[in-house]
Amino acid sequence: MTVSYDILVKGSSAMLDIGYIGLTNLTLISTDTGPILVDVGHAVNWKGLEAALAARGMTTKDVTRIFLSHLHCDHVLNLHMFPETTEVFVSRAEYEYAANPHPQDCFVPFMVREQVAKYRTHFLEGSGELAPGVRYLPAPGHTPGCMALVLDTPGGKTVVAQDAIKFPKEVFAQRVNDAFDTPERATETIRHLLTLGDTIIPGHFVEMRRAGDSWTWDTAAEVNLRLR
């Protein structure tokens, strides 16, 4: 069993004063049964995703499995880049939530359910394995159907939390921004995920690692802004 991962496009929590940029981590997991891409991003990181795959000798046709942590626009809108023969994994609870989202949840894209249904979609319930060493589990709070992954890598267990834990503030405060489920469930999820590994990949920040009883990170979260 060999599991490793590579963050193709790095996430950030950067915002403009007029709105949200929405750069999430897009992580490619390598397994003995082939690659799994965690989330696909949106228009802001479309070209970055293509370039990152090309740098690894791949195209979107080489990604045969996609795990969608939840159905917000910054995680799902680039799905159209991939062939409809691609296997897509998403929680059934999230798919149902997208039909009637929270009134303040402006991040669920129009007709996202119809887009997801075009693919070889598997609706996940509870916990299970996508591949040996790649476990999925419910991570509700940000949305009712959020899911996370736990990877058994040579360096230990890595939690791909995505928006169940978006950035350090949520780790330390154990409260999630934008709880479209309930704040209580979000806190319960954060506390649980923090017990499952020694490395965390948040949705919108660099990798974090356990440091004794706390958490830290080694690299800077960078956004290069170009004006034209």
Q: What is the pLDDT of residues 115-149, one digit of tens each?
A: 999 999 999 999 999 999 999 999 999 999 999 99
Q: Structure tokens of 13?
A: 């929590």
pLDDT of 220: 83
pLDDT of 42: 97
pLDDT of 227: 83
19 inside domain: yes
CATH number at residue 69: 3.60.15.10
Q: Structure tokens of 206?
A: 């660099």
- Total structural domains within the chain: 1
Closest CA to 209 of 173, 155, 163, 162: 155
Q: Does the CA dihedral 179-198-136-80 come out positive or negative? A: positive
28 inside domain: yes
Structure letter (DSSP) for residue 109: P
Which residues does residue 15 pair with via DSSP β-bridges, in sequence order? 20
Q: Is 210 helix (H, G, I), strand (E, B) or coil?
A: strand
Q: What is the pLDDT of residues 14-50, one digit of tens each?
A: 888 998 888 999 999 999 999 999 999 999 999 999 9
List the domain range (segments joined by +) for residue 129: 4-216
226 inside domain: no
71 inside domain: yes
Closest CA to 161 of 215, 108, 86, 107: 215
223 inside domain: no
